Structure 1
Amino acid sequence: MSTAVFSRTLITSAFFLFIAVHAGFASGMTEDHSAGSAGSAVSDAGILKGYVHDSETGDPVVLASVYIPDLDRGSVSHDEGDFIIRNIPEGEYRIRFQHVGYESTSKNVTITRDDTTRVSVSMRPSVFRSSEVEIVARHAAEEDDITTYVERTVTGRHLRQQLGRTLAETLEDEPGMAQRSMGPAPARPVLRGLGGDRLLILEDGGRTGDLSATASDHALSIDPMTAEHIELIRGPSAIVHGSNTMGGVINVRRGQIPFDHPDHIHWSGSLQGESVNRGMSGGFRAFGPVDTSLPFSGRSLSFTDRMAFRFDFSGRHTSDMDTPAGSLVNTDITTLNASLGLSYIDDWGVIGFSGNILDSKYGVPGGEGIAEAHPNGVDIEMFRRYLDGRARFNFSDSWARRLDVRWNYSYYFHRELEKPDDPDIPQPVGAEFGVLTNNIRMDLHHRNMLFFEKGLVGVWAEHRDYASGGMTFTPETIERSVAGYLFQERDFRSFNLQIALRYDYRHLSPEEAESIFLDHDITSREFHGASGSVMGSWNITSNLKLGSTITRTHRSPIIEELYSEGPHLANFSYEIGNPALTREKGWGSEVFVRWNRERMRASMAIYRNQMDNYIFPQDTGEQSPRRDDLNVFQYTENKVLMTGAELNYELLLNRSLTTGGTVSYVRGDFIDDGESFPFLVTEERENAVPLMPPLNSRLYLEYSLGSLKIGGAARLATRQSRTDEFEEPTDEYAVFDLYAQYHFSRAGALHTFSFTVENLANSEYRNHLSRIKSVMPEPGRNVKMLYRVYF
């Protein structure tokens, strides 16, 4: 590693912290604090008690979510609609209430030390689906004291209705979203035409440690079955998580480490079945107190009201997927996933740990009809072992509000097995990959600093050990990364301003290796650069909001792009890296508008993203030097412009009938220096970026009768003829779905049912981002049923 550059990065990180501390204590001197030292931990706390009821009937609302974003803590209402949250530091808070079938609502409360605050909350039944989808939310895994721009939050009945086999399938109907696939298992989300390493996917705010961003056949190590909700984050809040977030951030929140002590055990169970692959899946979650005591010095130390646990388990098994053209052989999936988290909660903060194990085996289809695929397909076995440790220290009467420390460890391994003609013959290993990842992150949340009212400063560091085997010749590589960042925010009555700055350094050190196929020697590389984002949003009226975002991103080439060499059978390619690649730099801009009336809700965004040195694997059309059945894909770089627009709306036709929909468009072009493009270009050009989704839309009509909701939806897409040289076009399509949802409460439990018929007419259509679209269409008619119960 270059000592000079590494030192500059550490100095930059220290500079962020120095400015924060200097400005913070300077502004803190002007404040009149209560008794107590500036850095003292919280010593006194209050209690919040309340009652949640239906605004129309007055009946108690059972199992309503009660959440305090500023503390990342919460509870649920019980049989009589009552709830209690203990050990809340003194101060003013905004409490958020959510429940399936009701509009989300918030209430401001003041907590007094050594006292109990009581509230009564009425919740109004909702017809709008988006009542469970927040546009701007005060919550994202690590920065709960700042206003995080959450483009969408998929939760509640919306999440249950969309719940699919993978995260990509679950989010496919969201605006701007598509899915890259090579069969059902390795599908991965693509947002605004950007996927892979340009779309950061997090689990409870931490990186997953898998290889899903590197190749189309690599599956994501997240099963959505036990997700509490899924956040799509853009703008300055995304820069806090990484420098390469032009596409945004997807955060799957599971709440593995409890941050609140419940008064009793809560649990939920799920069971899902579907016909298109004869699949079954199930999940179980439990969250509750740990009431125990330990002997110490001749007396007992009680941890009652201080410790909490969370446990979840999920399993999934499917057979080969059916399509209108027949069964897609070797697309079965078997996955087991389990997690356990434990935390100690006190007035001063929280300390907790969790562990997760995931084992999965899935198939990647093959056959003579799929160009360059293995004749019998490839089986992939993968597992991940994941440890997460978190500590939170609350401060009162000081400029610093909270310090969050997080450590993640991940051990990921997968191997790709060729399927021989004789099933009794052992499967040869085509490729195998292993990654050991350690990272640590520290965020200091603060109050006034210079011009801003609140924000955070932080540092992040990661050590990654990569190795490969089988027929691949990518060298073992050690990767070290470090970053410093800050996020600041200020409200001006009707105007909100957010900024984020980040500086990253990455060093890659490959094992000594020789290659006759790479154009350059395999040597160590280092990359460093700045990224940042500014967002302003203006509440023009109580119903209309206008905003704009400007983002600068920095992305270093990843190991596979620099050093890959060898056949990748499951990816239908012979991959050759480019050790001379330079860092990718991007500028992005977006203008958005939000309209919210009693009978209509709508949002629209237009955006322009330009990236210099955009890295991608290009099909050369040449056969590989080692295997004449595979084409060579050479990593290269070019200048890219992506422009697009999104529309999302809901309209209440009457008390029971709602209609809505989304429209998404993105266009990608390779451009030369100095070439100018209008915002939306309509004429055909030959320099199209490969694998761009076509213009697409989803429209629905929904009828509500109490707890019952019945609806129909249409998924539409135009023909995609703007393709790369070796890419095939896809035709337009219209696919129709039906769905129904019902819920009821009985004996302190909430029972929910979701029934869906996808592709009602068994239409044959193809996903343009599928690597096997030339041979097999998308799934045929699929009948799905999901039952979920909450206690």
Structure 2
Amino acid sequence: MLQYSPLALLVMQALASPANADEQAQEHQHQDTEVIVISASPLNRTELNSAQPISVLSGDELREKQAHTLGETLAKEPGINATHFARVASSPIIRGLDGPRVKIMQNGLDTADVSRGSPDHAVTTETSVAQQVEIMRGPATLLYGSGAIGGVVNVVDERIAQDFVGGTRGFFGGNLASVDNLRDINAGITTDVGSSVWHLDGFTRQSDDYSVPTFTNEEGEQVDTINNSFVDAAGGTLGVSYLFDNGYAGISYGRLEQSYGIPGHSHDDHEGESEQEHAEHEEETEAQPYADLEQDRFQLHAGVMDPIAGIEKLEVRYAYTDYQHQEIEADITATSFTNKQHELRLTANHHLSGNWYGAIGYHGFSQQQTTFGEEAYAPPSETDRHGFFWLAETQGADLNWQTGIRYEKVSAEAPSLMTGQNSYNFEPFSASFGASYQWHPEIRFNANVSHAQRAPTANELFANGAHLATQTYELGLGYELHQEGEHSYAVEPSQQHIALETSTGLDLGAHFESNGHHLNINFYANHIDNYIFESFTGVNSADLESHDEHDEHDEHEQHDEHDHDEGLTVVEYTQRDVVLFGYEINGLWQLDEQWRLQAFSDYTRAYTRDDQSNLPRIPSQRIGADLTYNQGNWETQVGYIWHSRQNRTAANESATPSYGLVNAQFNWFPQAFAQQNLSIYLKAENLTDKLAYVHTSYLKMNAPVAGRNFSIGLRGEF
């Protein structure tokens, strides 16, 4: 059962029922001082007492930042950026790391989608019905597995209650926006029924293609709307928990359906077509490709307090997810992706001695992924993980020590693969040691040293095909190129040793809190040996021996008259030693009873250790600030975020100009509905209609940031 510190209970009780609209506005104003327990941590850590940098979005702050994608929802958090795949499928980037290095979870277990493999694949969490979003920066592999070497994002909702709610409570919200004609509605209810607690929530969201300031895309066309960037999504969750004297047991079912356009997802390779076939293809392209996604998810959570002597709490979490999405072109399924995944985590909390407490557990994971169709760039694969972990920490007033280890066995297999090695086994080992010290009543320091290992994913091992979302032809670590002629290359099984990605990281931080002011400062450095990333080869996929053109032209045409625009750039997954370092700073200053100032800045530098070449798609430095004025039952805010120019670029990557975005918001808390915590807001984003390109996006020059956007919405509770 979720445990809260005495301070957290006191704060939450005080904020539970604001008596009038003034108090409701004050709750919104001072919510940053609330102490929230991290639900994904078995040892009841909070943002303040963790040696590892952790932050939580909840309450009105989460509602105000909520967007369709998880990446855009978190994009303004220090150290967090977004892949920005045209607003339809944006994932979070933590300190320059994304994809398989960032674990995305729903209530402590993997989301089990395929978003980690491609930027055009959607993350299946939904923040509009979430209670809070927890962000753990830096290596977090001890509890969550080797897919968390860059960090963890855990989306927490109330689908399985761990305590009675005291009757019935719920929430509702809605939003309309101008830039993409957004229509968004969400609601949820939780109620006690005898010894059980039932929960139901749902949402629906529709938006059209979004507008941008007029610009010239890579094809030389004048564009003011990002074609094929629509979203049509809906989902719901039903959960029930049975509560008994010393624990709980619950089960839930969630369903998600989503269709969204895939901008920039074109097929340009049509050599050898007749005029009639070419005309038919031109007609087909009028129906733009889109993804049609479905996910069914079953979760089971149970916890028992003091089940046996020496064990304070025993908890089990299990999820089964059946995921699929089809990429449809001209009403025909071009490519299908499926994932069937089981995940189980058993955790036992125990008291070691004195003020030392620990948690020991097992984490099992079984995944079956298939891809078939014209963009099946990786074969069907099966991945199994078995992990054992132990965490320990002190829970004193001033100085807390935190340590832990994890051992894991990982197997990845592609049974249908006929050439090259079709199975790999790895044994990652991770450990960390940290401390949090209350040096002064207003000042707390934290430090954490970590050693974390990650096994390559199935895509990184077995990829061998065209990946149209990134406009590349991918070759996994299991393959390598061999030049056969001047313009001829063969793809052959690799002879290189595939090693574990090994990170050695250091985090240093400080937190200052005084009279309504607070300041967080974090510095980090991360050396990663055998870092896996896509390296440009300079080879065009049309020059691969397997390319159909080589069967249709003689050798002279292959070598001298080949049109390289017909193919894709070949990229090889490779392993290099790299360095990442940077900082995150954020603060809040309560200037007086009405005025407060919030500001943040972050920076990441990433390069290879041997020749200091830059890693691709690393976010630029940012500086931002929000100034808020609060007056009784209303408040207004204006903010600005500056993104510096990013000219530290990798091979075949262009620099991205700097830009600044101005945002404004007005919140009104109607006094007549104070008991419902009702708030109505007006929001303006990119108020100056700035043309802004996102360096971390694969569609940087074809899908910039949305233009000026006005939105109106409401949210409330009952």
Q: Same fold (TM over 0.5)?
A: yes
Using the TM superposition, give the Cα deviation of residue 525 of structure 1 relative to its aligned residue in structure 2, in angstroms: 0.3
Using the TM superposition, give the Cα deviation of residue 360 of structure 1 relative to its aligned residue in structure 2, in angstroms: 0.7
Cα-Cα RMSD: 2.8
CA contact (8 A) 1:212 1:218 kept: yes
Whole-angstrom distance in 2 between the partners of 1:607 and 1:738:
32
- The answer for the alignment partner of 1:788 in structure 2 is 715
- The answer for the alignment partner of 1:323 in structure 2 is 212
Q: 2:441 aligns with which of 520, 534, 542?
A: 542
Matched, 1:163 2:66: yes
**Superimposed CA distance per residue, residues 397-455 of structure 1 (whole angstroms, 9 cap, x where no aligned partner):** 94211100111101111122235xxxxxx33x332211110111100011125x76212
Whole-angstrom distance in 1 between the partners of 2:256 and 2:470:
22
**Superimposed CA distance per residue, residues 29-78 of structure 1 (whole angstroms, 9 cap, x where no aligned partner):** xxxxxxxxxxxxxxxxxxxxxxxxxxxxxxxxxxxxxxxxxx4279xxxx
Matched, 1:528 2:427: yes
Using the TM superposition, give the Cα deviation of residue 132 of structure 1 relative to its aligned residue in structure 2, in angstroms: 2.7
Whole-angstrom distance in 2 between the partners of 1:417 and 1:308:
41
Whole-angstrom distance in 1 between the partners of 2:185 and 2:253:
20
CA contact (8 A) 1:103 1:132 kept: no
* 1:365-444 to 2 correspondences below 5 Å: 365-366=263-264, 377-395=288-306, 398-419=309-330, 426-427=331-332, 429-444=333-348
- The answer for the alignment partner of 2:273 in structure 1 is none
- The answer for the alignment partner of 1:96 in structure 2 is 9
TM-score, reference length from structure 2: 0.85
Matched, 1:663 2:601: yes
CA contact (8 A) 2:139 2:150 kept: no
Against the structure 1 CA distance between its residues 253 and 130, is the aligned structure 2 distance closer, same or farther, given a 3 Å change threshold? farther
CA contact (8 A) 1:738 1:757 kept: yes
CA contact (8 A) 1:595 1:603 kept: yes
Matched, 1:737 2:663: yes
Q: 1:172 aligns with which of 75, 87, 108?
A: 75
Using the TM superposition, give the Cα deviation of residue 145 of structure 1 relative to its aligned residue in structure 2, in angstroms: 4.2
Which stretch of structure 1 is more off in the superposition, 483-492 or 189-198?
Answer: 483-492
Whole-angstrom distance in 2 between the partners of 1:222 and 1:235:
21
Against the structure 1 CA distance between its residues 273 and 763, is the aligned structure 2 distance closer, same or farther, given a 3 Å change threshold? same
* 1:336-355 to 2 correspondences below 5 Å: 336-355=234-253
- The answer for the alignment partner of 1:614 in structure 2 is 531
The one-letter amino acid of 2:708's match is R
Work out the number of aligned pairs and report it.
Answer: 647
Using the TM superposition, give the Cα deviation of residue 732 of structure 1 relative to its aligned residue in structure 2, in angstroms: 0.8
Percent identical among aligned pairs is 23
Whole-angstrom distance in 1 between the partners of 2:664 and 2:465:
46
SS of aligned partner of 1:514 = coil
SS of aligned partner of 1:161 = helix
Using the TM superposition, give the Cα deviation of residue 308 of structure 1 relative to its aligned residue in structure 2, in angstroms: 0.8
Whole-angstrom distance in 2 between the partners of 1:242 and 1:720:
32
- The answer for the alignment partner of 2:95 in structure 1 is 192
Whole-angstrom distance in 2 between the partners of 1:263 and 1:135:
22
- The answer for the alignment partner of 1:635 in structure 2 is 573
CA contact (8 A) 1:244 1:554 kept: no
SS of aligned partner of 1:165 = coil
CA contact (8 A) 2:25 2:633 kept: no
**Superimposed CA distance per residue, residues 719-776 of structure 1 (whole angstroms, 9 cap, x where no aligned partner):** 1011011111110111111111222454642211222100001111111111122234
CA contact (8 A) 2:688 2:708 kept: yes
Against the structure 1 CA distance between its residues 442 and 709, is the aligned structure 2 distance closer, same or farther, given a 3 Å change threshold? same
Against the structure 1 CA distance between its residues 324 and 571, is the aligned structure 2 distance closer, same or farther, given a 3 Å change threshold? same
Q: 1:448 aligns with which of 340, 352, 363?
A: 352
Matched, 1:726 2:652: yes
CA contact (8 A) 1:370 1:775 kept: no
CA contact (8 A) 1:761 1:781 kept: yes
CA contact (8 A) 1:405 1:441 kept: yes
Using the TM superposition, give the Cα deviation of residue 343 of structure 1 relative to its aligned residue in structure 2, in angstroms: 0.9
SS of aligned partner of 1:447 = strand
Whole-angstrom distance in 1 between the partners of 2:58 and 2:504:
31
Using the TM superposition, give the Cα deviation of residue 128 of structure 1 relative to its aligned residue in structure 2, in angstroms: 9.2
Using the TM superposition, give the Cα deviation of residue 239 of structure 1 relative to its aligned residue in structure 2, in angstroms: 2.3
SS of aligned partner of 1:578 = coil
Using the TM superposition, give the Cα deviation of residue 474 of structure 1 relative to its aligned residue in structure 2, in angstroms: 2.5
TM-score, reference length from structure 1: 0.77
SS of aligned partner of 1:160 = helix
- The answer for the alignment partner of 1:59 in structure 2 is none
Against the structure 1 CA distance between its residues 535 and 398, is the aligned structure 2 distance closer, same or farther, given a 3 Å change threshold? same
Using the TM superposition, give the Cα deviation of residue 367 of structure 1 relative to its aligned residue in structure 2, in angstroms: 7.8
**Superimposed CA distance per residue, residues 209-232 of structure 1 (whole angstroms, 9 cap, x where no aligned partner):** 001111111110012111111111
Against the structure 1 CA distance between its residues 369 and 721, is the aligned structure 2 distance closer, same or farther, given a 3 Å change threshold? farther
Whole-angstrom distance in 1 between the partners of 2:527 and 2:122:
28
The unaligned stretches of length 5 or more in structure 1 are 1-70, 75-91, 106-119, 291-303, 420-425, 516-520, 676-684
Which stretch of structure 1 is more off in the superposition, 243-252 or 408-417?
Answer: 243-252
Using the TM superposition, give the Cα deviation of residue 234 of structure 1 relative to its aligned residue in structure 2, in angstroms: 4.2
CA contact (8 A) 2:43 2:358 kept: no
